[in-house]
Amino acid sequence: MNIYVSNLSFNVQDEDLKEFFASYGEVSSAKVITDRETGRSRGFGFVEMTDEAASKKAIAELNGAMVENRAISVSEAKPKADRSSRDSGGGYNNRNSYNNNRY
């Protein structure tokens, strides 16, 4: 199961994230998302666990837990198709943009 973790301290690294969940079961991957330009943490990440029961237990017990003086939020990650897209037609580069409607 893929797990979404937010409100992470900017000091938390991939290995730290993996350690938070390892006591609940096998962690196949843990990734803190970083800014492309600065390389700094964006304050959230994803953990992939192999056992669904262990994943649900980790979500239940770690949601709201204090990590480096921050209450983290832990939930099941939504598939990409279910997330709202930034490019859903409301941006500058959509087919209704200013440049296409000038004349």
pLDDT at res. 100:
53
User: 30 pairs with which residues across the strands?
Assistant: 47
Instruction: Please tell me which residue, 18 or 82, carries the higher pLDDT value.
Output: 18
pLDDT (mean) for 66-90? 78
Is 0.85 topped by the overall pTM? Answer: no
Q: How does DSSP assign 20-60, residue by residue?
A: HHHTTS-EEEEEEEE-TTT--EEEEEEEEES-HHHHHHHHH
In the chain, the N- to C-terminal Cα span, in Å, equals 51
Extents of the domains making up the chain: 2-78
Convert the pLDDT of each residue in 40-59 to its tens digit: 999 999 999 999 999 999 99
Structure tokens at 29: 């991957």
Helices 14-22 and 52-62: crossing angle in degrees, nearest 10, is 100
Structure tokens at 44: 């959230």
As its CATH architecture, domain 2-78 has 2-Layer Sandwich (3.30)
